[in-house]
Amino acid sequence: MTHSAWKQPRFRNSWTSGSSEPRFLLLQALVAAGAAATWLTEGLSLFGWVTFNGIVVGWTALGATGAVLVWRRGSPRFHLPRPGLPDVLLTAGMAAIAAIAGFIAIVSPPNSVDALMYHMPRVVYWKLAGSVAFFPTQYLNQIMQPPLAEYLVLHTYILSGGDRFANLVQFGGFLACLVAVSLIAKALGAGRRGQIIAALFCATLPNGILQASGTKNEWLLAMWLAAAVCFAFRSKYLWMGLAVGLALLTKGTAYIFAPAVLLGVFAPRMKQAWRAVVAVGLCTLAINGPQYWRNIGLSGSPLGYDSAQGDGLFRWRNERFGIRPAVSNMLRHISEQLGSRGEAWNQGAYRAVLRAHGVIGADPNDPATTWRWSEYEPPRNTNHETDANNRWHLLLLAGCVIWLAPRMRERQALFYCLSIGLAFVLFCAYLKWQPFQARMFLPLFALVSPIAGLALGRLRPAILQAALCLFLLNNARPYLFENWIRPLKGPNSILGTSRRDAYFADMTQWNNRVHFLRAVDLARESGCGEVGIDITHFQLEYPVQALLLETNPKTRFQHLGVTNASARYRDLATPPPCAVVCLRCAGDAGKIQDYSAIGPPAEAGDFLVFTKNRSVIRNSAAPAPP
C-alpha cells in the first residue's frame, strides 16, 4: 500500500443534514427495541406471562407494528460514499475482532463470577415464575440491581431453552457502541477516516474485547450512553431521554456518567438544557418506574440498599467525601490502568502513588474509601474482564488530548472531552476503590474514543495513522485469543473444553468444581423436581441450576435460609422442596438442623445435599465425577 493511500479523503460533514443517516436510524431502532423489551417484559410480568408464548406473541405484535410504521413513513434513501482501501482495511480489522468475539460468545457459556452470582440466577428465577417480581434471596443483587441486560438475556433464554445466546446481549452492545462512537466523532467534526479510527480505537480496547464475549453489562451501558450523546447533539430530546432511561435501567454507574457527559454536550447551548432535563426525567420514570417501585417496597429507596447484603458491610459508596478521598481514588484507578507485564514498571507506578498519597496526607488503604478486606497493591496486566486495563489506549488518549488542545477551534469538542474527565472524577469521589473496578471504566473509554478519532484523523503524515492503527490491531490479539476465562488458545481452550466444565473457568480460587458436580449428581439421583438452594455461605449458585436443568428442564428452584427483607416475597403456594443443596454448609450445625426434616445430609466436599431419597444417602460416598 502506498503512503498516499492513507491521505485523508475529502469529506463533507453532513451531520445536520437530516436524520436519514443509516447509523442514526440504527440507534433509533435499538433504543425503540430496548424500550419495547422493557415495557413488554414488565407488562407480561403483571400477569405471569413471561413465557415462551407470551414473548413470541408480544414480539410478533411489536414487529408488525414497527413494520407498519416504517411502511407508512417510507423507505429512507441512503448515500453511502465509496470507501478507500485504507478504510476498507481498518473496517476489516474491526470485523475480524467482532467475528472472533462473537464466536467466543456463542461457544462459551456465561461463566464470570458475577454471571454465576446474580446475572444468570435472576434470569432462572424469573423464567420459573413467569414474572420479574422480587423473590426471596440471600444475595440482594439478584433482585435490586438494574435489570435491563438480564431482561434481554431472559428473552433469549426462554426462546432458546437455555443460556446458549446469553452472551450475545453484551456482544450486541459492543457492536452498536462502535456505530454510536463513530457518529459522535462525526458530530465533533471528524471526517470519514477519523470516524473509522474512533470506532477502531473503541473496538481494540483490551477490557472491551474481553467483556464483549461475556455476560456483564458495561458494553450495553456504553451503547445507551453513546446513543444518548448522539441524540443530544441532534436535539432529539425524546430519543435522548429514552436512551438515558435505558442506561439507568442497565447499571447504577449510569447515574454518575450520564449527567456529566450530557453536561459536556449542552455546555455550549445551556438554554436548551431544560428540555433535555424534562425529557430525561419523564423517560426515566417511564422506563425505570416499575423497578423503582419494587425497590421502594424492599428497602424504602428507589435504588435499593447501598450494599449487596443490605447490611452496609460491603457498602459501595465512600464513607467520607471530599477532595482528599477523591484524589486518592483517582490516583489508584489511574495507576491500575497503567499496569504492564514488567514488574519494574508496576513497582514504579505503585511507589509513585504511595508518594503522592504521602504528599496529600492520605492513606492508600483508608477503610473509608477502600473496599472491605482489600488492599492497594502494585498494578498488573491481566487478561481477565474484571481488571484488565487499557494502558496503551490511555497513554495514546493523553497524547491526543495534548496534541489536540491548542488546535481545538470548536468549543464542543473541548467541553465534551472535559465532561468525560468530570465523569471519572465523580466516580472516584462517590464510590470506594476496589481492586476489580477497571471494567467499570469501559463506558468512559468508549465515550472518549471519538476524541482519539478526531485527533488521529488529522494526524500528519498519514503514515503515522497507519502505524498507530496497526499497533492497536496487533495489541488486540492477546485479549482475543487468551481470555483467561474464555480462551481460544492453550490447554483450557473453549474449543477443547466441555460446556459443563467451562462454567467453572472463573472459579479456580475456590477449587470446588468437583463439589459442584457431585452435589448436582446427588440432587439429580434423588429424582426431585423441586430443589431448594441455600446460598447463605456461598452465592455462586448458577452452575447447580444450569447443570440440573440440562438433564431435567422442568426442575424448579427456590431459595431457602433467607433472613433478610426479601423473605417477605416467599410464595406460600410454592410446594416444599424434596431436596436441598446447601453451598459450603459442611460443619454448620444450624443448617443441618434446619433441613433435617427432609433427610440426613449427603456430603459433596463442603456442600451438603438433603434429600428424601435414602438410596442417595447410601450412595453419597461414591467417587466424585472427574
Q: What is the pLDDT of residues 159-185, one digit of tens each?
A: 999 999 999 999 999 999 999 999 999
Q: Which of 267, 284, 299 is the last residue of a domain?
A: 299
Residue 534 lies in a domain: yes
| Side chain identity, residue 148 | L
Q: In what side-by-side order are the strands of the sheet with 530-534?
A: 556-559, 530-534, 579-582, 607-611, 601-604
Single out the residue in 299, 332, 364 at which a domain terminates.
299
Residue 439, pLDDT > 70, answer yes
pLDDT of 9 > 50? The answer is no
- Has residue 264 got a pLDDT over 60? yes
Q: Is residue 318 part of a domain?
A: no
Q: Is 361 exposed, middle or buried (0-12, 13-18, 19+ CB in 10 A)?
A: exposed
Q: What is the mean pLDDT of the chain?
A: 92
The string of DSSP codes covering 249-298 is: TT-TTHHHHHHHHHHHHHGGGGGGHHHHHHHHHHHHHHHHHHHHHHHHHH
The answer to whether the CB of 451 falls within 8 A of the CB of 401 is yes
Spatial separation of the C-alpha atoms in residues 492 and 503, rounded to whole Å: 12
pLDDT at residue number 268: 85
Residue 73 has a pLDDT of: 80
Output the pLDDT for position 614: 60
Could you report the per-residue pLDDT of 220-233, keeping only the tens digit for each?
999 999 999 999 99
User: Tens digit of pLDDT for each residue in 302-361?
Assistant: 999 999 889 989 999 999 999 999 999 999 999 999 999 999 999 999 999 999 999 999
Q: Is the pLDDT of residue 15 over 90?
A: no
Residue 618 pLDDT greater than 70, yes or no:
no
- What CA–CA distance (Å, rounded) separates 588 from 602? 13
Is residue 356, in this structure, part of any structural domain at all?
no
Q: Is the pLDDT of residue 554 over 60?
A: yes
Size of the chain, expressed as the number of residues it contains? 626
Give the pLDDT of residue 14: 42
H or E element, residue 534: strand 530-534
CB 376 within 8 A of CB 370: yes
pLDDT digits (tens, 9 = 90+) for 459-470: 888 899 999 999
Q: Identity (one letter) of the amino acid at 169?
A: V
CB neighbour class for 75 (10 Å; exposed up to 12, middle 13-18, buried from 19):
exposed
Q: Please state, in angstroms and rounded to a whole number, the distance separating the CA atoms of residues 34 and 227.
A: 12
DSSP bridge pairs for 610: 580, 601
Share of the chain above pLDDT 70, in %: 93
Tell me if 496 is assigned to some domain.
no
Residue 591 lies in a domain: yes
Say how many C-beta atoms besides its own lie within 10 A of residue 195's C-beta: 25
Residue span of the structural domain in which 541 resides: 502-618
Q: Which of 123-132, 399-408, 574-583 has the lowest mean pLDDT?
A: 399-408
Q: How confident is residue 2, by pLDDT bands cut at 50, 70 and 90?
A: very low
For residue 622, is pLDDT > 60? no
Interacting residues of 521 by C-beta distance below 8 A, sequence separation 6+: 625
Share of the chain above pLDDT 90, in %: 84
Check: CB of residue 287 under 8 Å from CB of residue 239. no
In a domain, 361, yes or no: no
For 118-144, write each residue's pLDDT tens digit: 999 999 999 999 999 999 999 999 999
Number of structural domains the chain divides into: 2
Rounded Cα distance between 398 and 58, Å, is 48
Q: Decide which of 242, 273, 299 is a domain's last residue.
A: 299
Instruction: Please enumerate, as own/partner, the contacts of 303-306 that have beta carbons within 8 Å and a separation of 24 or more.
Output: 303/144, 303/252, 303/255, 304/140, 304/144, 304/145, 305/140, 305/144
Question: At residue 8, does pLDDT exceed 60?
Answer: no
> Residues 373-383: what's their mean pLDDT?
95
* Residue 304 in domain: no
Say if 432 falls within a structural domain. no
Q: Would you say residue 619 has pLDDT above 80?
A: no
Q: Kindly indicate the confidence band of residue 617, based on its pLDDT and cuts at 50, 70 and 90.
A: low
Cβ contacts of 170 within 8 Å, gap of 6 or more:
105, 149, 211, 212, 213, 214, 215, 216, 217, 218, 219, 220
- C-alpha cell belonging to residue 318: 465512600
- Grid cell 484488565 — which residue? 388
